[in-house]
Amino acid sequence: MVERVGERPRGSSTICLPFSQEDYQRIIDDPQAFRTALDKAFFEMPELFPEAFAQGYTLKDSRQSEKLGIRLRRIECKATGEAFTVRPSFVLPYMAGLTKDVKHALFLRRFGVPFWALAHVFGKDADYWYRLTVSLGRNSVTGTTVRGASLPDDLLADEHHQTIDGEKVYAATTVGEGCCLGAAISPTADEEGLKEAYGVFKQEAQNIDKDYQPKTVNADGWPATRSSWRALFVAIVVVRCFLHGWLSIRDRGKHLKELFKTLADKVWSAFRAENKRTLAQRLRRLRQWAQENLTGPVLEQVLKLCNRSKEYQDALDHPGCHRTSNMLDRVMRQMNRYFDAGQHLHGSLQAAELHCRAWALLYNFAPWSPASAKSNQGYKCPAERLNQHRYHDDWLENLLISASLAGFRR
């Protein structure tokens, strides 16, 4: 069993706020100015604070980082007696450095640039960059990513096959609204292992909204995946991915030459049917045509697709659902490149899971290319597009602020 990130991991007692270094140095030694700035931040961004903050607080003690020369203050909520550290967004967690000194290296890490290469260009050593990257995985992936938006009703899920020191494991990946909302390691691909891994997403989502129940999830035909989601969310509809059915046909039918285009047109014509009756009719015609024109493995896969007519029809009852896994595939292709570049996963299951979670947050918050941002209405990254908001123009500070209280609602 993998040791998971708990409900209150390390860092969940730290409030991260968007102070500039100049403003912070000006107010940190003035209790009244600090309190005024804190009250203003709470008025503008209450979601970054614990719920008990609204009932009053007192300034507690402070501590100084000799290396950075920066002092952090603590506050205590009057209602609960809990103490919280207030950290400005230009400082890394655990006072490991300043964001301006690491943001470019972590941006490159998003694309799998090796840790030794980061050390060669930016200084420190490979272990420093590894620890800094993996530490991001301590935050709630769902809670950090979904700040100003509602949790998506329609999800996609699949397992990314990886290895840890040569042993096969499965990264149970959940995607919604273009963001990676969950990435947890399962050592097995059976229902028990996948239910526990996908359950991490459920736990984090229900920490945001205790009544959260997604309507649909797109999945391939693996029985354990489908049954694990039904066990986690009783009312969920598991949508069979049409794209996987087509890919099984395509991989076996490329040799058909001219006939292949006719086959592809008929398959996708069925997919584009506007209602259940038309879809069923077009799949029946596809079956008849295939039996007259195809043989062998290609015919076998076409008949399999036609036999799923009822499952594909059910998806039309849910207009917002994902009938294909395209959105998930875009995320998992980049996850695959990232871990392939690093010779897959290493260390313990817990370390591997933290690494997967860290990658998910880097994917959600690291900036797109200018061309991609332009085609996404000017939003800079998937998380910003989801929330239609950013806390800070600097992408890493935006991530750290979103990860206030480690992304967990308190």
Could you state, in order of their start, the residue ranges of all structural domains in the chain?
19-88, 99-135, 141-237+329-367, 242-315
- What is the structure's pLDDT at 210? 94
Please tell me what DSSP assigns to residue 241. Answer: P
Q: Which residues contact 121 (CB under 8 A, 6 or more apart)?
A: 105
Distance CA(359)–CA(366), nearest Å, equals 10
Distance CA(189)–CA(361), nearest Å, equals 24
Q: Which fold has domain 141-237+329-367?
A: Nucleotidyltransferase; domain 5 (3.30.420)
Task: State the helix-helix crossing angle for 349-365 and 126-135, rounded to 10 degrees.
Answer: 80
- What is the structure's pLDDT at 254? 79
Q: What is the pLDDT of residues 235-251, one digit of tens each?
A: 999 999 999 999 999 99
Residue 66 has pLDDT above 70, yes or no: yes
How are beta strands 216-219 and 154-164 bridged, if at all?
A: parallel
Q: What percent of the chain has pLDDT over 70?
A: 97
pLDDT band (50, 70, 90) for residue 2: low
Q: Which residues contact 89 (CB under 8 A, 6 or more apart)?
A: 16, 17, 18, 19, 99, 391, 392, 394, 397, 400, 401
